[in-house]
Structure 1
Amino acid sequence: MYLSRLFLSDFRNYKELELSLGPGLFLFYGDNAQGKTNLLEAVSMLATATSFHASSDREVVNWSAQDHVARLDGTVQRLEDKIQLEVLIVDPSPPVFAAAAGVRVNPRSIELPAHAPRKRYKVNGVPKRTIDLIGQLKVVLFAPSDLHLVDGGPEERRRFLDRALCQVQPRYSVALVKYRKIVTQRSALLKRIRDNQEDPGMLNYLDEQLTQLANQIIYERRRMIDALNDRANEFQRAISGGREQLQIVYRPSFQVDGDWGLTEAAEHYREQLRDARKKEIHQGVCLRGPHRDDLEFLVNGVNMLSYGSRGQQRTAALSAKLAELAFMHSSTGDQPILLLDDVFSELDASRREYLLCQVAGYEQVMLTSTDLEGFPADMVQRAHRYQVSGGVLKSE
């Protein structure tokens, strides 16, 4: 799988970009804040419909964009076919301070209906839902934040699982979206019950919905962890010179037993919700479910979050990401596109060399860096090189 063409319009600092691509290694280099990460962000959005870099979709729309709309368009060559993906992102309320900063903001020439979607998708020119876009293109991102997978917060580790599973399993993406809505509704209801505004019996329906969706999510997360453990320890041993053994442990907030079938598991989750109901009402939040799951990284039996050195934590994170790459490849038969966003500057020489060796054989790799120093000369020579400056690419 590879991206053969990328078109951007009013995306971040790219006013307009038309880029022909193909198999191989693509090096994008230049000073900070010139648009290197924005380029990888666009490719990732074509795969996952979300940004790994923005807290809100509106952030990706160029302030001076006509009608305040950004467009991403990519052509993907897959094993079995070629497919065109398009994403439109609308900023309904451009920042009021833009004019004061010297940026001209064009008046909107069309008015959006009140409930018009802020993102729109097309697959081969046909309007589609979010779920129909996700996974058509598959990517694995290596970013500096991924090196904090082990020592960061639980939400980072859940996102690590979700980004891969949503691309591999469409039903997982559907279940996750529905589950998040149920959690929001249930939390609001818990607060109303706490304030004596609703009957606690109103929770029964939402509990049933939550357990059914949680059951699907937990099942797929457990399968992914099992697959990751088949490979992660191999990478950890290689990077550490055989000194370290890595195990990734799934820590769900529900009590889980591997011997439970799906039907039996759902009943146990319902029972655990009933047991936690009094405490949940008192606190006004959902205390059980996949939104509170976590992962634990054990190296030689030691918890890396609490006791790991910086080097051990980064090695474990790198091993987990390489295992994710292998998982996605084996699950789909397609090699995902690798996006490496200035990650080499965060690694020491031995880890950098190992990562380069592991990714060198993949069909398409997009790598960003502030300069080309530190990369093997033969690798730089065979790469497609682009200097990035102010949202403009210059081919070498």
Structure 2
Amino acid sequence: MARLRAPTGGEGSPAGPAAGRGLLAGARPRRRGRPGAATARPAPIGPGNDLGYNRSVKLGRLQLVNFRNFRRLDLAFGPGAHLLVGDNAQGKTNLLEALYLLSTLRAFRAESDVQLVHRDAPVEGLPFARVAADVVTAGGPLRLEAVVTLREGPSGLLASKAVRVNGLPRRLHEAVGLFLAVLFTVQDLELLEGPPLLRRRYLDTLLGQIDREYLLARQRLEKVLLHRNHLLRRIREGAARRDELDFWDEMLAQDAATVVWERARAVSDLAELAAAAHEALAGGDSLGFLYRPRLGAEAAAALGDSPAALAAAFLTDLKRHLAQDIAAGATTIGPHRDDLEFHLGGLPAAGYASRAQQRTIALALRLAEAALLRARRGEAPVLLLDDVLSEMDAGRRRRVLSAIADYEQVLVTSADLEPFPAGFLARAHLYLVAGGEVTPALDAATTRTGDS
């Protein structure tokens, strides 16, 4: 690792795939004309593309208290690339996680929010973690603050989360997507070979930043499914009547239609964007993208019509699958069972793609996500790239750095400087991360030679 010198004196049975440019059976849902929803098609990814606007979300300052291994942090950021360098387990990924928490209000790798609080904080009588940032968006400057507070529960610590925007308390869903960020980590490789839940979460997290209606529908869907499944089991046991499902079926049909419709629309756009991003990053074999909604025959046929038609058709399918649902004690069709498939050169990426190819596909998906946010929201997100150049050859590394050059603000982590050409290092803001502390670094670029 090149040496960094700190400055002195400073601080089940799907109804068929919805694929690529088409959707179910080649149909594409018509755009809904909701206020605030952009209707323009996303532009291709990469430097030199005129997207019709130059607005970008800008991170100005990040402050942490008792977050993961950070006891205290107050760090200013400017435009451009920011390179965070340090050994493993020093806090690089934690810093990116803190920023992503402000964007999505979800911890991307914690089993529980309890894990976000520094392990010594409860012992010291300070059982909380605080993440705050000053950001500038198209709507103006914002002060965002998320606090995770711990309390004793019957079987251990429990966590609650609160958020403030410009000093005022807000509900969590009201703050999602105010600060736009896209995060790549090595865990993204599990999108290809991991369980369907991860792929649904990928779509949900993206769409939650774009569309508050989708976010609320997705949250309601989870609650409705819990009630419906509980009632199905009671019916199976003879403790409830079938007509008691009518209320929950109506609610489920409406929210399921919203979720499936927006997922299908997003996958149609993402397929094109991801294919373009993959071509820019790797060339060669083309990347394909399939959406597999778990629908009955009526809803599958209605997916190309309208959200209202889809909801009515889904309700019909629920009635037809009722005997099966009662036997299973669970709802067997719906967006909670959707999946995505990825193909490379016509073959399933899971099981065929090499480790480097999987990493490239995962990064292409994140760049497609960033491009879709840019197109739908009208401003570019901050890119958060964790160890993005690892396991890549020199050619792919150059293409990755070229692909992210169009974004106004990028944070990249690495264990060393070797993967980065001298030209990139000369332009980047460099930081040394060690033991939960971040120190601006000087003269890193002068320790390297090479092509820019």
Q: TM-score, normalised by structure 1?
A: 0.90
- 1:86-105 maps to which residues of 2 (within 5 A)? 86-93=145-152
> Do the aligned residues in 2 keep the contact of 1:148 with 1:314 (CA within 8 Å)?
no
Give the drift of 1:311: 4.7
Give 1 or 2: higher helix fraction: 1
Deviation digits for residues 196-245 of structure 1, max 9, x if unmatched? 2222222221111111001111111111111112222222333443x322
| Counterparts of 1:97 and 1:224, CA distance in 2 | 40
Amino acid at match of 1:333: G
Partner of 1:284: 329
In the alignment of these two chains, the number of paired residues is: 378
> Do the aligned residues in 2 keep the contact of 1:63 with 1:94 (CA within 8 Å)?
no
Amino acid at match of 1:267: A
Residues 129 and 340 of structure 1, relative CA distance in 2, 3 Å threshold: same
Partner of 1:315: 360
Which is worse superposed, 319-328 or 342-351?
342-351
Alignment partner of 1:338 is 2:379: no
> Do the aligned residues in 1 keep the contact of 2:186 with 2:359 (CA within 8 Å)?
no
Give the drift of 1:343: 2.6
| Counterparts of 2:127 and 2:259, CA distance in 1 | 36
> Do the aligned residues in 1 keep the contact of 2:281 with 2:403 (CA within 8 Å)?
no
Residues 7 and 313 of structure 1, relative CA distance in 2, 3 Å threshold: closer
> Do the aligned residues in 1 keep the contact of 2:282 with 2:396 (CA within 8 Å)?
no
- 1:68-147 maps to which residues of 2 (within 5 A)? 68-93=127-152, 118-147=160-189
Which is worse superposed, 55-64 or 255-264?
255-264
> Do the aligned residues in 2 keep the contact of 1:144 with 1:346 (CA within 8 Å)?
no
Give the drift of 1:42: 0.5
- Structure 2 counterpart of 1:5, from 58, 61, 75: 61
Amino acid at match of 2:287: L
| Counterparts of 1:346 and 1:293, CA distance in 2 | 31
| Counterparts of 1:10 and 1:94, CA distance in 2 | 21
Partner of 1:377: 422
Give the drift of 1:259: 2.8
Deviation digits for residues 157-197 of structure 1, max 9, x if unmatched? 11111111101111111111111111122222222222222
> Do the aligned residues in 1 keep the contact of 2:206 with 2:369 (CA within 8 Å)?
yes
- Structure 1 counterpart of 2:289, from 233, 238, 248: 248
| Counterparts of 1:152 and 1:348, CA distance in 2 | 25
Alignment partner of 1:301 is 2:376: no
Partner of 2:394: 349
| Counterparts of 1:240 and 1:26, CA distance in 2 | 24
Give the drift of 1:36: 0.9
Aligned alpha-carbon RMSD (Å)? 2.2
Deviation digits for residues 108-133 of structure 1, max 9, x if unmatched? xxxxxxxx981111100011101111
Deviation digits for residues 261-313 of structure 1, max 9, x if unmatched? 22211111112111222122112122111111011123343332355454544
Give the drift of 1:94: 8.9
Residues 195 and 378 of structure 1, relative CA distance in 2, 3 Å threshold: same
| Counterparts of 1:123 and 1:240, CA distance in 2 | 41
Alignment partner of 1:203 is 2:245: yes
Higher RCO (Cα < 8 Å, 6 or more apart) = 2
Residues 308 and 14 of structure 1, relative CA distance in 2, 3 Å threshold: closer
Amino acid at match of 1:73: A
Which is worse superposed, 229-238 or 28-37?
229-238
Partner of 2:219: 177
Residues 20 and 310 of structure 1, relative CA distance in 2, 3 Å threshold: closer
User: Which sections of structure 2, spanning at least 5 residues, go unmatched?
Assistant: 1-56, 442-452
Q: Percent identity?
A: 40
- Structure 2 counterpart of 1:52, from 87, 103, 108: 108
Partner of 2:20: none
Amino acid at match of 2:213: R
Please state whether the residue corresponding to 1:67 is helix, strand or coil.
coil
> Do the aligned residues in 1 keep the contact of 2:397 with 2:419 (CA within 8 Å)?
no
Give the drift of 1:96: 9.8
